[in-house]
Amino acid sequence: MLRVGNLQRSLTFYTEILGMTLLRQKEYPEGKFTLAFLGYGDEKNHTALELTYNWKTSNYDLGTGFGHLAIEVDDVYKAAEKIRAAGGKIIREPGPMNAGSTLLAFVADPDGYEIELLEPKA
């Protein structure tokens, strides 16, 4: 689960830029928050990302415990270029990892959460 400061901005990023599908969304008026679940397939067979939007909070301190989300892509270079062309922010250009040969890149979502793109292992 990620807490987001602007739900529509985050939904646009995860659906239009990263290509996820909004699986379900529900408002909780008594608690003054909205939950949205996104993914690359149905929740029965795929992982879902939960976004929590607290109605009166527009930003969060990302903290030091969170590292990043990771998403496997067929081609890191093409995925990064597609994200850049759609207005996404590339924070580490595609290439081999620091201490190995895995190809990866990093992007940031609108709230600053880092997402690692990695190619499948051979």
Instruction: Break the chain down into helix, strand, coil percent, rounded to 5.
Output: 15, 40, 45
- Distance separating alpha carbons of residues 111 and 45, to the nearest angstrom: 28
Q: Is 74 helix (H, G, I), strand (E, B) or coil?
A: coil
Residue pLDDT, tens place only, 83-100: 999 999 999 999 999 888
pLDDT greater than 80 at residue 122: no
Give the number of residues written for the chain.
Answer: 122
pTM, two decimal places:
0.85
* Residue spans of beta strands (DSSP E) within the chain: 2-3, 21-28, 33-39, 48-54, 69-72, 89-96, 103-108, 114-118
φ/ψ of residue 105, rounded to 5: -150, 165
The domain over range 69-118 is classified in CATH as 3.40.50.300: no
Q: State the average pLDDT over residues 9-32.
A: 96
18's tokens: 């990263």
pLDDT at 63: 86
Positions marked active-site: 116
The confidence score (pLDDT) of residue 27 equals: 96
**Domain ranges (residues) in the chain:** 2-54, 69-118
Average pLDDT of span 11-29: 97
Distance between CA atoms of residues 77 and 45, nearest Å: 27
Superfamily of the domain at 2-54: 2,3-Dihydroxybiphenyl 1,2-Dioxygenase, domain 1 (3.10.180.10)
**What is the model's pLDDT at position 3?**
95
Write the pLDDT tens digit of every residue in 66-78. Answer: 889 999 999 999 9
What pLDDT does residue 96 have? Answer: 93
